[in-house]
Amino acid sequence: MPESTLLNELVAIAAERAPDAPALTYGGSTLGYGALDTAVRGFASGLMALGLARGERVAIYLEKRFETVVASFGAPAAGGVFVPLNPLLKAEQVGFILRDCDVRVLVTSPERLAQLGDVLTQCPSLRHIVLTSGAGSAPVPVHDWAELLAAPVRAGHRVIDTDVAAILYTSGSTGRPKGVVLSHRNMVAGGKSVASYLENRASDTLLAALPLSFDAGFSQLTTGFHSGARVVLLNYLLPRDVLKAMEREKVTGLTAVPPLYIQLTQLEWPAAIDQHMRYFANTGGRMPRATLDLLRAKVPSAKPFLMYGLTEAFRSTYLPPEEVDRRPDSIGKAIPNAEILVLREDGSECAPDEPGELVHRGALVGMGYWNDPEKTAERYKPLPVGVGGREGGLQLPEFAVFSGDTVRRDAEGFLYFVGRRDEMMKTSGYRVSPTEVEEVLYATGLVGECVAFGVDHDTLGQAIQVIATPPEGDAALDIAALMAACKARMPAYMVPHGIDARSGPLPRNPNGKIDRKTLSTDWAERHPA
């Protein structure tokens, strides 16, 4: 059986191996690998019939459904580039992305097309719109999904594994979103690497709860298809919907972000989930220790995988389950086929336990930010000679991802996340990570969700401000008790200067992470100096 080198080959090879095996479940329907491969090839042929040139962009503005997956693999199969748009994005944000990368074809639904209003008139590169069903009005020709897939079969453009497969846009919480360019090699190598340490297999059922526009969300498809597993597509409104799906579909693997896990641990879990769940994996930030302990109590049979990744390199590290009891705060070591370095400002390697910048090298390093040379130069830099596997005799540069995250590596080689450089708080002469503060807050058991950030202060430099919600079932946040617990558990310089109470879940960015930037900006606007 051949090995996948192109993104669409993950589906094609799985279909050749077991065409009748279930690939995707959505609602009450399941699509086998053979049918999925036929649809992917049909969509690719339809794009060729529309005149899609090699490397042109195909945007997908849909919730998770069969058409979303078919288009995501069908566009690269034609030699195009897929651009997944988070379904939570509004018309103006969609328009920005369509213009930023000169999208030629937009795949969406009639309802979403109607929501875009006049935005599409401001997208001069757009040539075609493909609707999942029905009809709609647009400034360019509109095509029906079924008719497009019925186009005569034709081969796609010549593609190799270093060609662009996708552009994944970051959430844009600190300004305009950036388009991370990923090759076929990046995405396939990432899928194979993650599947190897998660030990994914054809008997697995993976729950795709994260957005497919998020690298960890799309990874559920690449790992699942590489292994021949079944992937369940879920668009949930409430955390309880996730538990229902896990029980109903007999899910064996779940990957989620800490805010969702925090909410899930506050609910009662059906006992049946533990009978099938083989692992749960965390990404998108450090999971609070208290949340990890609760999860392990609810599904004792499941192995915990604590992971770290950045869109610019797809996935980076994981902590093996057998290490969780010894070092639950660690993000582990490099995933297979990647090297993770901890470097000083001058590019030299840090000593054990010396904080430095996490730098990722290898096959998963992306191709930069689309049409943004300045930000690309900030994050993608040539690897210094003598660092990692970089030898002095090599003449061509090797680019690595300089993450902007501060980490430390212990004497045994395990990595620990310290904080993002642009989020670190400097208070009373000390550098404090907001996640370090949040970890203590969660451990008190007195908060539901929380976020910490620095605010300008005349004498401290920055004061630590906290916004928190009450625990599930409590009517109000006990600020006095929380502050007392902080003073008992923290050094004086780390104790929050102020705690604001909020009701309900804290706001998320489109990838489901608590939106620290928005919360801190809103707080500053309500509390001018």
Predicted confidence at residue 284, as pLDDT, reads 80
Mean pLDDT of 96-111: 97
Extract the tokens encoding 273.
Answer: 């989930």
Extract the tokens encoding 224.
Answer: 């699942």
Rounded distance between C-alpha atoms, residue 458 and residue 8, angstroms: 56
**pLDDT score of 499 more than 90:** yes
Average pLDDT value for the chain: 93
Rounded distance between C-alpha atoms, residue 27 and residue 500, angstroms: 40
The CATH number that domain 425-526 falls under is: 3.30.300.30
Contact 359, 400 (CB under 8 A): yes
Mean pLDDT of 97-104: 97
Predicted confidence at residue 175, as pLDDT, reads 53
**Three-state secondary structure of 90-157:** CHHHHHHHHHHCCEEEEEECHHHHHHHHHHHHHCCCCCEEEECCCCCCCCCCEEEHHHHHCCCCCCCC
Extract the tokens encoding 86.
Answer: 């988070």
**pLDDT score of 40 more than 60:** yes
Rounded distance between C-alpha atoms, residue 216 and residue 282, angstroms: 10
Contact 509, 515 (CB under 8 A): yes
Rounded distance between C-alpha atoms, residue 168 and residue 300, angstroms: 35
Mean pLDDT of 10-18: 98
Domain ranges of the chain: 9-185, 236-420, 425-526
**pLDDT score of 172 more than 50:** no
109: exposed, middle or buried (Cβ count in 10 Å: 0-12, 13-18, 19+): buried
Predicted confidence at residue 495, as pLDDT, reads 93
pLDDT tens-digit series, residues 175-186 = 578 999 999 999
Fold of 9-185: Rossmann fold (3.40.50)
The b-or-e profile of 304-338 (16+ CB within 10 A means b, else e) is bbbbbbbbbbbbbbbbebebbeebbbbbbbbbeeb
Which residue spans within 240-387 are E strands per DSSP? 253-256, 279-282, 303-308, 317-319, 330-334, 338-343, 356-362, 380-382
At 201, the pLDDT band (50, 70, 90 cuts) reads very high
236-420 and 425-526 agree in CATH topology: no
Mean pLDDT of 378-404: 91
CATH 3.40.50.12780 fits 236-420, yes or no: yes
Which among 107, 109, 151, 106 is positioned nearest to 134, based on CA atoms? 109
pTM value is: 0.85
